[in-house]
Amino acid sequence: MELNLLIENKLGLHARPASLFAQKASAYKSTIMILKGEKSVNGKSIIGIMGLGVKQGESLLLKIEGPDADEAAAALQKLVANKFGEE
Amino acid sequence: MWKIEGIPASAGIAIGQIVHIQECVHDFSRTVTPEEAPREKERFLSAQQVAETELDELMERTAATVGEHQAEVFAAHKLMVQDPCLVEAVFDDIETNYASAEAAVETATQSIASMFASLDDEYMRERAADIKDIGKRLMRILQGKVEDVKYEGILVASDLLPSDTAAIDFDLVSGFITALGGKTSHSSILARAAGLAAVVGVGSAIDKLINGDMVIVDGHAGLVFVNPEEAMLEEYRQRLTTEKARAVALAEVGHLPSVTVDGSHIEVASNIGTPADMKKVIAAGADGVGLFRTEFLFLDKTTVPTEEEQFQSYRAVLMAMPDKKIVIRTLDAGGDKQLPFIGGLTEANPALGLRAIRLCMVYQDVFKTQLRALLRAGVEGNLHIMFPMIATLDELVKAKALLKEVADELAREGIAHRSDVPVGIMIEVPSAAVIADILAEEVDFFSIGTNDLVQYTMAADRMNEHVAWLSDYFQPPVIRLIANVARAAQKNGKWVGMCGEMAGDPLATPLLIGLGLTELSMSTRCVPIVKNLVRQLTVQEAKEWADHILTLRTTSDIKKNLEEIATKFDI
């Protein structure tokens, strides 16, 4: 499944949000890819996510495939919508 | 048993097992045979496991000693060590290029670091350093080495740099042996300050020492006995007991008046971080507290500490030494010490950003709460308030106005407080050192913070090993700034002290006293040593030395001169 996410928190996907995202993603069996522009990275990789250099106001495309894709999508969507608990 | 002869650098005896301080060597084979590739993968995986355990420990220790917030860095490092991107790159390199685990880790971490370095975001660019750190850690583990912070016993190294001595836990280490160095080289002086037995300049003999060898380090004679017989061990154990008694005597010097031969009083004070430190301060015989860093009250908290909470802490310190001067520095946060309750502020250059007094001017409520707590605690003892990072007269005037405002509030509310607390500033920004004559009119005292003053004067990040040679408080420009500050203070009848690392370095003591400083505040461990030296000095002579040192053109000339001066005294 595919999913669009708008990153609204102030810091974008800096170290802490990136690590929260990767940790959450790693809890699921599904493969999770993040696409931004030309780049695509493993959503379970903090290095990959930070390497995208996502800033506030930018959006990402998530591609999730696997047995628990729906749950993973819901959890990640919630994490992003909550702005990673920043505010 | 065999014997090594060297230079007696630091008197004292140490008995124990030796451990070599490892230097990172990069001689590993870059490739393996196809058959060996699976083994390299396993080597990587077990190194990864060791790294995770190390980071867990580091996280726990940092959380306990520094704060939860600081410990998060290592949590991030742990995630990076486990990162699928890294693992994939390493495995790929091993499988397709038959790279050794070391080569694969080096290549992968370097390419990830340069990926970060190419991002258009300063904060992210700095993450390249985290990746490099992980690379170094994995590399060290792959080469079978232990983490350097766990050194215990007697250290053996080719040379011991000040940065090494700073990393040593003095409760665990009792002596050291080095291949290089002389009696008055800087590291030997630091060893004496730390009370470690040391024999230096033993040359290639260190190569014959094996980790775990039992040795006696005789720092008086400059001898090292390797795997000695029981009779000799017994003899030295007895001498060690006598030594300890002598150390007690030096500790007593700590309690003698801190007066020079010609009768000038030089306050030898302690730097502290929490009220609990006061026990050691009193035991060492310090003449008070020259720097109480109040950050501990703030850094671990998710909310601003209450006025009452702060009042109790300040009061505890003042009441521990009611008749001694206690200098409390207002909040020096921001930069690398982020406050959780203020939230992540993204700055391209935190050391030059919104920190210390600048941050307090933005969060005036936080600042005023602290000032209220301070003025209330002030009735309990000899409180002095110090503002950090002052760069301009305006900042100082504003901070003083807020202090006045708070005092008026307390008076209106009828709350007991002291309104005439002496106010001073840290001199750590070169701009303040340059306009010290202007600032001197508005303060009661100056305290020079050498760590930041050096960093800002030399434009060299003090944590950056690549520019470490610039981070030296014996750089002529730093000495000149200190001289300028001291002159300005004296002209205005104000006292000037120092609370940076330099204040606890006995090599610097004659120079600082010669320049006119009358207070030196240091790590409590250094108090008896510096006081012992103060008691041997003559201010007049120190002035002549200082005048001469101000004419010297290089750091090495200055150090050489100070090392010569040091030989005249019992340090």
**C-alpha distance from A21 to closest chain B C-alpha (Å):** 11
Would you state the pLDDT for residue B166? 47
Beta strands in B277-403 (DSSP E): 288-293, 325-329, 382-387
Cβ-defined contact of B76 to A44 (cutoff 8 Å)? no
Confidence of residue B68 (pLDDT cuts 50, 70, 90): low
Cβ-defined contact of B76 to A41 (cutoff 8 Å)? no
Interval B204-232 mean pLDDT = 91
Q: In this structure, how many other beta carbons lie within 10 angstroms of the beta carbon of residue B554? A: 11
Summarize pLDDT for A60-86 with one digit per residue, the tens: 999 999 999 999 999 999 999 888 876
| Rounded Cα distance, A51 and A45, in Å | 10
From the list A47, A55, A86, the residue facing B112 with the nearest CB is A47
| Rounded Cα distance, B363 and B23, in Å | 45
SS3 A12: coil
User: Chain B contact for A44, CB < 8 A?
Assistant: yes
Q: Which residues in chain B are closer than 8 Å to A50, comparing Cβ atoms?
A: 116, 124, 127
Cβ-defined contact of B72 to A16 (cutoff 8 Å)? yes
Which pair of tokens denotes residue B291? 């720097």
Cβ-defined contact of B85 to A41 (cutoff 8 Å)? yes
Beta strands in B129-204 (DSSP E): 153-157, 173-178, 197-200
∠ CA B259-B262-B265, nearest 5°, is 30
| Rounded Cα distance, B454 and B248, in Å | 35
Amino acid at B137: R
Q: Which residues in chain B are closer than 8 Å to A36, comparing Cβ atoms?
A: none
Which class for B230: exposed (0-12), middle (13-18), buried (19 or more C-beta within 10 A)? exposed
Interval B23-27 mean pLDDT = 57
A-interface mutation test, from B83, B114, B134, B341, most A Cβ less than 10 A away? B83
Cβ-defined contact of A15 to B84 (cutoff 8 Å)? no
Would you state the pLDDT for residue B65? 59
pLDDT exceeds cutoff 60 at B135? yes
More confident residue, B380 or B185: B380
Helix, strand, coil percent values for chain B (each to nearest 5): 55, 15, 30
Q: Is B12 within 8 Å of B195 (Cβ atoms)?
A: yes
Lowest-confidence region among B205-219, B299-313, B478-492? B299-313
User: Chain B contact for A40, CB < 8 A?
Assistant: no
B-interface mutation test, from A46, A49, A52, A58, most B Cβ less than 10 A away? A46
Cβ-defined contact of B112 to A51 (cutoff 8 Å)? yes
**C-alpha distance from A2 to closest chain B C-alpha (Å):** 21
Cβ-defined contact of B85 to A14 (cutoff 8 Å)? no
| Chain A with chain B: Cβ pairs closer than 8 A | 56
Q: Is B288 within 8 Å of B296 (Cβ atoms)?
A: no
Cβ-defined contact of A50 to B116 (cutoff 8 Å)? yes
User: Chain B contact for A59, CB < 8 A?
Assistant: no
For chain B, give the mean pLDDT: 87
pLDDT exceeds cutoff 90 at B556? yes
Q: Which residues in chain B are closer than 8 Å to A53, comparing Cβ atoms?
A: 119-121, 124
ipTM reported for the complex surpasses 0.85: no
Say how many Å lie between the first and final Cα of chain B, rounded: 32
Q: In this structure, how many other beta carbons lie within 10 angstroms of the beta carbon of residue B147? A: 15
Q: How far is CA A42 from the centre of its chain?
A: 9
| Rounded Cα distance, B31 and B40, in Å | 10
pLDDT exceeds cutoff 60 at B469? yes
Would you state the pLDDT for residue B163? 44
Going from N- to C-terminal start, the domains of chain B cover 2-21+151-244, 34-142, 262-566
Which class for B301: exposed (0-12), middle (13-18), buried (19 or more C-beta within 10 A)? middle
Cβ-defined contact of A47 to B80 (cutoff 8 Å)? yes
**C-alpha distance from A70 to closest chain B C-alpha (Å):** 22
| Residue A10 to residues A14, A55, A80, B553, Cα–Cα distance (Å) | 10, 8, 12, 49
Which pair of tokens denotes residue B142? 């792959």
pLDDT exceeds cutoff 60 at B186? no
B20 bridge partner residues: B156
According to CATH, the superfamily of the domain at B262-566 is: Phosphoenolpyruvate-binding domains (3.20.20.60)
Confidence of residue B304 (pLDDT cuts 50, 70, 90): confident
pLDDT exceeds cutoff 80 at B11? no
Q: In this structure, how many other beta carbons lie within 10 angstroms of the beta carbon of residue A66? A: 14
Q: What is the 3-state secondary structure (H, E, C) of B368-397?
A: HHHHHHHHHHHHHCEEEEEECCCCCHHHHH
Interval B440-456 mean pLDDT = 95
pLDDT exceeds cutoff 70 at B467? yes
Which pair of tokens denotes residue B128? 């390249």
Cβ-defined contact of B119 to A51 (cutoff 8 Å)? yes
Summarize pLDDT for B391-402 with one digit per residue, the tens: 999 999 999 999
Has domain B2-21+151-244 been given CATH number 3.40.640.10? Answer: no
Beta strands in A2-86 (DSSP E): 2-6, 31-36, 39-42, 59-65
Q: Which residues in chain A are closer than 8 Å to B85, comparing Cβ atoms?
A: 41-42, 45, 47-48, 51
- B494 DSSP assignment: -
User: Chain A contact for B116, CB < 8 A?
Assistant: yes
Which CATH code, of 3.30.70.890, 1.10.274.10, 2.40.100.20, 3.40.640.10, is assigned to B34-142? Answer: 1.10.274.10
Summarize pLDDT for B88-108 with one digit per residue, the tens: 999 999 999 999 999 999 999
Confidence of residue B376 (pLDDT cuts 50, 70, 90): very high
**C-alpha distance from B93 to closest chain A C-alpha (Å):** 18
**C-alpha distance from B363 to closest chain A C-alpha (Å):** 18
In our burial notation (b when 16+ CB lie closer than 10 A, e otherwise), range B349-377 reads: ebeeebbbbbbbeebeebbbbbbbbbbbb
**C-alpha distance from B456 to closest chain A C-alpha (Å):** 27
Confidence of residue B342 (pLDDT cuts 50, 70, 90): low
Would you state the pLDDT for residue B70? 58
| Rounded Cα distance, B513 and B264, in Å | 10
Interval B243-262 mean pLDDT = 86
The CATH code that applies to domain A2-85 is: 3.30.1340.10
Number of H helices, E strands in chain A: 3, 4
Say how many Å lie between the first and final Cα of chain A, rounded: 29
Q: Which residues in chain B are closer than 8 Å to A55, comparing Cβ atoms?
A: 121
Beta strands in B312-390 (DSSP E): 325-329, 382-387
